[in-house]
Amino acid sequence: MSQLGFTIYATSGTHSFLADNGIPSVVVRKHSESDASSGSSADTNKLSAVDVINQGLVNLVINTPMGSGTRQDGWLIRTAAVQRSIACITTIPGFKAAVAGIQALREDSLSVRSLQSWLS
């Protein structure tokens, strides 16, 4: 996604994994992690993943419910995405398919064809 020009927002564990693999991302906190500043700053280091979604900073949410952390965080992230009508992908195969689709759209324009044209 970063190679396609997207900014990736990630919680600390995902950010560490991405950094170890040379992929840049912006760290956001999990909703359950306290915000020491409690301010309303737009600094994304102070924002939670839910805040980033609610403020409209993302257009796609990838939330695979695995790893450490509370189940509540994942539920809040997915709920925020649904409430804002933001696509939410919860599996790695689904994520791979989405990236392939985005790449295909960038390489070729979208066109409409009838079902009959596909069958002839």
Question: In tens digits, what is the pLDDT along the chain, a chain of 120 residues?
Answer: 888 889 999 988 889 999 999 999 999 998 778 665 444 444 555 899 999 999 999 999 998 877 656 678 889 999 999 999 999 999 999 999 999 988 888 888 778 889 888 887
Q: What's the CA gap between 20 and 58, in Å, rounded? A: 23
Radius of gyration of the chain (CA): 17
Within a domain: 3: no
Q: What is the pLDDT of residue 35?
A: 62
Within a domain: 84: yes
Q: What is the pLDDT of residue 91?
A: 92
Within a domain: 66: yes
Q: What is the CATH number of the domain that holds 114?
A: 3.40.50.1380
Give the total number of structural domains in the chain.
1
> For residue 62, what are the domain limits?
9-119
Would you say the pTM of this structure is higher than 0.85?
Answer: no
Q: What's the CA gap between 98 and 64, in Å, rounded? A: 14
Within a domain: 13: yes
Q: What's the CA gap between 119 and 45, in Å, rounded? A: 52
